[in-house]
Each structure stands twice: as structure tokens, then as C-alpha cells.
């Protein structure tokens, strides 16, 4: 799932919120793994269950209901979930009334098999079925196991106001599309999250407005492929709507503009862009609005055209390079990050070198890098042999990680001696005397706290840096 400003960085974090705990109300504990979309979905689930009288807890040992929102993108993501379920099981032995539910992509992938394989699970619920959680819980209370993994063509949870979990009160996610129609051959997401559908722009804008009124100063618009966002009035992007419905049609660039207009003090980010669909209209919109951040996550996956074709990515190396050139031309100081897979089926050393040379050429600020992990049911699993030895995949992964470390250091250094507009997110992890935030390009900037507070915008002159952080003082 290409959907992850925070993906790996937050993987394994528990979503924690300390709500008002009315005596007698039941407690839910929600833990999320994987991409930003999962974190965002957990907030929808929290909202559905808050309406049913549950309150959140940050300690699973005191919960009546444990929900784990899972990722299926690579095998190791699934292993983490299995280990966590074992820990919950110890609690369940002490407290048999404890309900344990598995949500998200792994639930969708394994369906009923989950109940058989992992005996401790009571509820299995897929990404499009969260509205049914209250009735699934009732089924479990009646002594049965409960499963709902129906995928939908139109569910967008547009009317649900998410309960914000574990955030900093400044930045929030807003889902704008669900599902994915791209069918990259390595990817399980089209099978676990279903067909792509876009959410009503008005509901997106009102969510952004509400967040702003509550003190939030940054929203990240989320979708597997934000560039294919298309509202045609009815929701389904490939419908054939009537002329008046067409009049309300909204593209991603238009949606960006609508959200940017909510307030100039609200920063807009988005993820994930797809190289085959990212058009200049989006770039020009970004350039026009100062509050749309100069940062694009543009996953390349491989720098070799033969591999890209096998991956079913819909672009060549040259096409991708042209898109990067367009970004640099239209938004000269744009931060750019990417996703890379090493050791995809039949990748040769030479082809791997094409990925290395592309990274050097693109000068990425940041990359998420993975060794290929074959996933059941995907096109690649059915069509190609997973024939690159694990050792080689790892070796190539180390190589790209080391290169990215070098590139990130160089990119961060470019920020030295410049003044950065920073949105303050909170106290720095390293020192209580320092505040931390990010500049438009998504680089972390740290500075002495003075009288400033979360949610302020400050101008910081960068004086020193580490590989990924600029350090300076307010000017």
C-alpha cells in the first residue's frame, strides 16, 4: 500500500488515547500496524464504538475489547501481528470475557481461516465492514465467533467523524479514497482493500474545517493513489454520470485547492502519489498555494523498465524521470521521497544497479526500502518465480539503505544557512528545552523553545544538522 508518510516509522506503535472513562463503560484498546490508512481507519472504528458506549484505554490489560488493525503487505508485518496475538492470549486466559478482534488487511486476506488458525480471535472484520462492529460484538457476547469481510464498492465512511487517536493535536489524517485498482503485481492491497472509490469532496472539506476549528494545523490527505481521486457526484469514479452530476466533478488537483482554501494556516500534505497518474495540474496547484506543502512521496519501486513492466506499474524509467523533472521545474524546492523494492522476481545485478543510479539521479530526501516478499494471490505470485535468493535481496537492500543515508544527509545539509517556516508539533524528543516541527519539505527542524507552543508557525534559521534533522534558532 502506497500510503505512508509514517508507515514504517510508526509501525508497531500502539494508538493510545485516554478518553473520559465513565464508570461502568466498557473499555476498548486499539493497536494499529502498517500504513497511515490503517491508523486513520482505527479512528473511524473508535468513533463507531464510542457511539456504542465504549471508552478507549491505553492499557490492553484493562480492556474488555482488544482490536488489532493489521497489515498484510509483507510477511514480516503479519508475523508481528501473530506475536502480538499471543501476548493478548495470556490476558484472555486470565479474563475469558475479553474479546479479541482482528481488523484490516490481514483479516481480509485470511478471512475465516483466522478463526481456525489463531484460536484466540473472536472477531474478524475487513476494512469495509467497520460499521458492523457493534453487531459483531453482540454475536460474540452471545457466545459465537463473528466474521464480516465483505468488501464494498461505495463505502467511504464519509459521514463518520473520526475520534482522533494518539496524535499530537496538530496533524491529522483525512482519507480521500479507499481501495486500489492498480494491480501492481507484487501488491496484496487490491485484494484486501477492494476497488478504488473516492469520497465526497464536501465531506473532506468539512472534516478539514472541523479539524482547523479544533486547533489542528496540518492535514494529510490519504489514498492508495491520490492522483486517481475523482468525484463524479455518485462516488464511483468510473460511473457514467449525468451532466449536472458532471458539473460537480472534482479531480485531485481541484480537491487540493478546496482544502487549501479552508484556511491559509492549515497545512496540506498528501500521500501517496502514483508516477503514472501524477499530472502537472497537481504540481501547479501545489505551487500556487503556500499552505500545500512542497513534498511529494512518489514511489518508484525499481529503476529498471523491464522490472517496472513486470511489476505492472504502468510507467518506464524515462517516464518516471520526466515526472521528477516536472516536479523540480514547477516546485523547485520540493522534497521528494520514494519506495523501493529490492530483489523482485528475476532482478539481475545490472537491473539492481539501475535502481541505484536512479536514486542517485533523483537525489531523494527519503526512501522506504523493502526486500521483496511474495504475497499469496498476487499477480507476481501466480506469474513469476520468487527466484532472487534471500541473501541477495538483503544485500541489495543494505546497498540502497546505505545510499539513501548518504543522499538524505546531503539533502538535509542543503537546508543549512536558510530560514525555514516550521509548524511546531511539540517538545523535541532529545531535549525538553527544544521544540520540534517540520518545514514544508517534511524535514524535522529543532530549535530552543522560547515562548512558542504547539501549533505556532515560526521561522527558523538552520545552523547545524544531523542526517535528517536541522537545528537552528528562531529569527
Task: Write the interaction track for ligand 5AD spanning residues 297-326; mark x where CB under 6 A is met and - where it is not.
Answer: --x-x-------------------------
| Closest to 160 (Cα-Cα) out of 56, 49, 29, 5 | 49
Write down the least CB distance from residue 436 to ligand SF4, Å: 30
Q: Distance between CA atoms of 409 and 365, rounded to whole angstroms? A: 8
2 interacts with ligand 5AD by CB under 6 A = yes
Residues 239-253 as b or e (16 or more Cβ within 10 Å = b): eeeeeeeeeeebbbb
CA atoms within 13 A of residue 267's CA, in its CB half-sphere:
25
For ligand 5AD, the binding residue among 220, 232, 373, 443 (CB under 6 A) is: 373
Write down the least CB distance from residue 327 to ligand 5AD, Å: 18
DSSP for residue 111: T
Packed helices 317-330 and 280-288: angle between N→C axes, nearest 10 degrees? 20
Q: Distance between CA atoms of 104 and 65, rounded to whole angstroms? A: 16
190 interacts with ligand SF4 by CB under 6 A = yes
Q: Which helix (H) or strand (E) holds 397?
A: helix 390-413
Q: Of 94 and 382, which CB lies nearer to ligand SF4 in the complex structure?
A: 382
Q: Of 189 and 369, which CB lies nearer to ligand SF4 in the complex structure?
A: 189
- Name which of residues 318 to 347 contact ligand SF4 (CB under 6 A): none
The residue nearest ligand 5AD at its CB is: 339
Q: Which helix (H) or strand (E) holds 40?
A: helix 36-50
For ligand SF4, the binding residue among 44, 67, 133, 189 (CB under 6 A) is: 189
Q: Of 274 and 393, which CB lies nearer to ligand SF4 in the complex structure?
A: 274
Write down the least CB distance from residue 339 to ligand 5AD, Å: 3
C-alpha cell, 460: 527558523
74 binds, among ligand SF4, ligand 5AD, none (CB under 5 to 8 A by kind): ligand 5AD
Write down the least CB distance from residue 269 to ligand SF4, Å: 18
Q: Distance between CA atoms of 144 and 333, rounded to whole angstroms? A: 57
Q: How many CB atoms lie within 10 A of CB 353?
A: 14
Write down the least CB distance from residue 356 to ligand SF4, Å: 21
| Beta carbons of 288 and 327 less than 8 angstroms apart | no
224 interacts with ligand SF4 by CB under 6 A = yes
Query: Where do contacts with ligand SF4 occur on this chain (CB under 6 A)?
Result: 1-2, 180, 182-184, 187, 189-190, 224-225, 274
Query: Where do contacts with ligand 5AD occur on this chain (CB under 6 A)?
Result: 1-2, 4, 73-74, 186-187, 299, 301, 339, 341, 370, 372-373, 375
Amino acid at each position: 500500500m502506497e500510503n505512508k508518510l509514517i508507515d514504517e516509522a510508526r509501525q508497531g506503535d500502539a494508538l493510545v488515547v485516554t478518553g473520559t472513562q465513565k464508570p461502568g463503560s466498557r473499555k476498548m484498546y486499539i493497536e494499529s500496524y502498517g500504513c497511515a490508512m490503517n491508523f486513520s481507519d482505527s479512528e473511524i472504528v473508535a468513533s463507531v464504538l464510542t457511539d456504542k458506549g465504549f471508552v478507549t484505554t491505553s492499557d490492553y490489560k484493562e480492556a474488555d475489547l482488544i482490536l488489532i488493525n493489521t497489515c498484510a503487505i509483507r510477511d514480516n508485518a503479519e508475523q508481528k501481528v501473530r506475536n502480538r496475538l499471543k501476548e493478548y492470549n495470556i490476558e484472555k486466559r486470565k479474563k475469558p470475557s475479553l474479546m479479541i478482534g482482528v481488523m484490516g488487511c490481514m483479516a481480509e486476506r485470511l478471512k475465516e481461516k483466522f478463526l481456525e488458525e489463531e484460536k484466540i480471535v473472536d472477531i474478524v472484520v475487513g476494512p469495509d465492514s467497520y460499521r458492523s462492529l457493534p453487531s459483531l460484538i453482540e454475536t460474540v457476547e452471545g457466545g459465537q465467533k463473528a466474521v464480516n469481510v465483505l468488501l464494498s464498492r461505495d463505502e467511504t465512511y464519509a459521514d463518520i467523524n473520526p475520534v482522533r487517536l494518539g496524535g499530537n493535536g496538530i496533524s491529522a489524517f483525512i482519507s480521500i479514497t479507499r481501495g486500489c485498482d492498480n494491480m501492481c503485481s507484487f501488491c496484496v492491497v487490491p485484494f484486501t482493500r477492494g476497488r478504488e472509490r473516492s469520497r465526497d469532496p464536501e465531506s473532506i472539506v468539512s472534516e478539514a474545517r472541523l479539524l482547523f476549528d479544533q486547533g489542528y494545523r496540518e492535514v494529510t490527505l490519504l489514498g492508495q493513489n491520490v492522483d486517481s481521486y475523482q468525484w463524479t457526484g455518485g462516488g464511483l469514479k468510473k460511473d457514467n454520470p449525468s451532466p449536472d452530476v458532471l458539473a460537480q466533478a472534482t479531480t485531485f488537483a481541484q480537491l487540493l485547492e478546496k482544502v487549501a482554501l479552508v484556511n491559509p494556516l492549515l497545512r496540506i500534505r498528501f500521500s501517496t502519489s502514483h508516477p503514472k497518474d501524477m499530472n502537472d495540474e497537481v504540481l501547479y496547484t501545489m505551487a500556487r498555494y503556500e499552505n500545500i506543502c512542497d513534498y511529494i512521496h512518489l514511489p518508484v519501486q525499481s529503476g529498471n523498465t523491464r522490472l517496472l513492466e513486470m511489476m505492472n506499474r504502468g510507467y518506464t524509467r524515462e517516464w518516471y524521470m520526466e515526472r521528477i523533472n516536472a516536479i523540480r521545474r514547477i516546485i523547485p524546492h520540493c522534497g521528494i521521497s520514494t519506495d523501493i523494492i529490492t530483489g523482485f522476481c528475476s532482478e539481475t545485478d545490472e537491473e539492481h544497479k539501475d535502481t541505484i543510479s536512479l536514486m542517485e539521479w533523483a537525489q531523494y530526501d527519503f526512501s522506504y526500502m523493502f526486500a521483496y516478499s511474495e504475497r499469496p494471490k498476487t499477480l507476481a505470485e501466480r506469474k513469476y518465480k520468487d527466484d532472487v535468493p534471500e541473501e541477495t535481496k538483503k544485500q541489495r537492500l543494505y546497498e540502497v539503505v546505505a545510499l539513501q543515508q548518504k543522499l538524505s544527509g546531503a539533502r538535509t545539509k542543503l537546508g543549512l544557512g536558510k530560514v525555514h517556516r516550521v509548524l511546531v508539533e511539540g517538545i523535541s524528543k532529545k531535549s525538553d528545552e527544544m521544540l520540534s516541527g517540520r518545514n514544508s519539505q517534511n524535514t524535522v527542524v529543532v530549535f530552543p523553545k522560547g515562548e512558542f507552543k504547539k501549533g505556532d508557525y515560526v521561522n527558523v534559521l538552520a545552523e547545524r544538522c544531523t542526517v535528517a534533522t536541522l537545528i537552528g534558532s528562531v529569527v
